Chains A and B, each alone.
Chain A
Amino acid sequence: MKILVPVKRVLDYNVKPRVKADGTGVDLANVKMSMNPFDEIAVEEAIRLKEKGVATEVIVVSIGEPKSQDTLRTALAMGADRAILITAEGEVEPLGVAKLLKAVADEEQPGLVILGKQAIDDDSNQTGQMLAALTGWGQGTFASKVEVAGDTVIVTREVDGGSETVSLKAPAIVTTDLRLNEPRYASLPNIMKAKSKPLANKTPADYGVDVAKRLTTLKVSEPPVRSAGIKVADVDELVAKLKALGVAA
């Protein structure tokens, strides 16, 4: 089966985000960008399935600014076979992304779409679920284990207080959680070879999808600075304070 893996270019996870002075968003000028870590896990899982002989081809797709090409090259260097870049200016909301992915899925007919459970920039945690709704395929979200036998996909899910195992029939949607795997480093020779792997350039119009924004961002602000704590003399004072704050009866 083919596996489709969407990857997003986001602010690098080591960079401390700075909110723009006018509060319209996070300042991305001259800061390091890299592949969304959950997507890296998705790419790794797809490549492992290919190495096991389950997948025949791993296709990566990215939606965003032209620079997203670098993110696709990283995925190709890790071991994906080919890439599709859908260039779109500005922010594309999860619904727009899901519609585009649906169109790509219609064209490519993958047996599995593996997505990150969320992107670390907007933390939406919606795209996989929306894609499942649009395609009508089964979904196994927050995966910590994925096993494929024929057209059955067994997904172990991270849920509150434990794990849940679901069985899906391919084609299906999987979203990755942190514990699914530890992504490999692309080897240096493979980084050099990635340049010659196929990368198709598309636009939302090619798929007839309208990605106009439906939401308006009113304000983006820094998290409040943590104020200094207070010292209590003994347990009695602690209990009294908690009661005064209304957090203990």
Chain B
Amino acid sequence: MALDPETFDALIETIRRFVTERLRPLEAQVGEEDELPAALIEEMRQLGLFGLSIPEDYGGLGLSMVEELKIAFEFGRTSPAMRSAFGTNVGIGSQGLVMSGTPEQKEKWLPRIATGEIITSFALTEPDVGSDSAAVKLRAVRDGNVWKLSGTKRYITNADKASLFTVMARTGGAGAHGVSAFLVPADLPGLTIGIPERKMGQQGAHVCDVNFDDVPVPAENMLGAEGDGFKVAMRVLDRGRLHISGVCVGVAERLIADSVAYAVERKQFGKPIAEHQLIQAMIADSKTEALAARAFVLDVAAKKDAGENTTMEAAAVKLFASEMVGRVADRAVQIFGGAGYIADYGIERFYRDVRLFRIYEGTTQIQQLVVARETIRRGG
């Protein structure tokens, strides 16, 4: 649903305040402790952040893609790990259910996903299955009224907090058509979660292995038709890639603002470094690229809202925005000079945080393959 401008402005304004007053002061702490304070997550629940993309009929806000992006821009202005707390419920953890669930499945789960009572995760990647995600090995074998799942999922965001997983498993032969999607409650017997991995950045957001040992999943928990699991996953990622791109734009804008604030204060050779043309070149390049990514992602989002297929465009914008924020973060470190390398200034933390955007929800190379394949198919 598209909101009227006044209401949407009020929404953005509230989020902006929340990010500025509540989240930004905690960035260093969350980076060091690798944990968001429980009270903060509760505040996020109270605010309604877990339900941003859940339809209104199920207690969410039912925001359009363009609206969701404008919110992603705002959350980009703080450590990306903050957004991850509710990020899976807004994106990859819930959208399979929103797009492909039956009315009964939606009724059962979505209202509690919207309030944040249930945290969701999306489990596609495996130890031997990454970019080639159609090759999932985790087995699902039909046994009466249940499917028994066996195997391992790897690097699953929020797995240690999730009570519901969307799991892609092999129900048939080799290839994409042998994959089905399942809604798997975390409390089923045989399902165990590994300890959180130690990561390069985004401390506060956890990824873990999820191990399945003959986990009996009720047959009615299959999401979409048998053999449609890969399609379900790809539709989820089409949307997720736009959201991630929005976060990339927001982080870039934050880093540009921080760089400028530093450059007008820091003096070398008798004047603020912002007055040296080589610094200005970096600021100009970062600003130009960030503006381009912002316009690009809003354009694709508007197309998606209009019902167009945006698989190729979503891959292209994720490719551009994630690489863009990588360059912007690198320049930010450079503009800060020695301070950019020192933890207290927080810039090196962002530099590590944004590295992930070029890897998850499809690596840069995979986005290139998607864009090239589709562009060649279309003949230009």
Contact = CB atoms under 8 A, between A and B. Distances in A.
A187 B114 CA distance: 13
Contacts of B61: 188-189, 192
Interface in B2-26: 3-4, 6-7, 9-11, 13-15, 17-18
Interface residues of A, number: 16
A65 to B, nearest CB: 15
A27 B47 CA distance: 33
Contacts of B48: 187-190
Contacts of B96: none
B216 interface: no
A187 B7 contact: no
Given A185-B47, A189-B61, A195 B14 contact: no
Contacts of B13: 34
Contacts of A34: 13
A77 interface: yes
A191 to B, nearest CB: 5
A188 B6 contact: no
A34 B15 CA distance: 14
Interface string A162-190: 00000000000000000000001111111
A191 B4 contact: no
A181 to B, nearest CB: 15
Nearest to A69: B6
Given A192-B61, A195-B4, A187 B10 contact: no
B46 interface: yes
A74 interface: yes
B223 interface: no
B49 interface: yes
A195 B7 CA distance: 7
B51 interface: yes
Given A185-B17, A185-B18, A191 B10 contact: yes
Contacts of B9: 70
A9 interface: no
Interface residues of B, number: 21
Interface string B29-67: 000000000000001001111011000000101000000
Contact of A192 (B7, B15, B47): B7
A235 to B, nearest CB: 33
Contacts of A73: 6-7, 10
Nearest to B47: A187
Interface in B59-92: 59, 61
Contacts of A188: 11, 14-15, 47-49, 51-52, 61
Interface SS of A by simple majority: helix
B51 A77 contact: no
A184 B14 CA distance: 10
A186 B51 contact: no
A121 B239 CA distance: 45
A189 B62 CA distance: 10
Interface in A228-246: none
A188 B47 CA distance: 6
Given A185-B14, A186-B14, A191 B7 contact: yes
Contacts of A185: 14, 17-18, 43, 46-47
A187 B61 CA distance: 11
A76 B170 CA distance: 51
Nearest to A192: B7
Nearest to B63: A188
B61 to A, nearest CB: 6
Contacts of A194: 7, 10
Highest count of chain A CB atoms <10 Å: which of B3, B4, B6, B15: B6
B10 A74 contact: yes
8 nearest A-B pairs in the assembled complex, by CB-CB distance? A188-B48, A187-B48, A189-B48, A191-B10, A191-B11, A187-B47, A185-B14, A195-B7
16 contacts: A73-B6, A73-B7, A74-B10, A77-B10, A186-B10, A186-B14, A188-B47, A188-B52, A189-B48, A189-B51, A191-B7, A191-B14, A192-B3, A192-B61, A195-B4, A195-B6
Given A186-B10, A191-B11, A194-B7, 15 more contacts: A70-B9, A73-B6, A184-B46, A185-B46, A185-B47, A187-B46, A187-B47, A187-B48, A188-B14, A188-B51, A188-B61, A192-B11, A194-B10, A195-B6, A195-B7
Interface of B: 3-4, 6-7, 9-11, 13-15, 17-18, 43, 46-49, 51-52, 59, 61
Interface of A: 34, 70, 73-74, 77, 184-192, 194-195
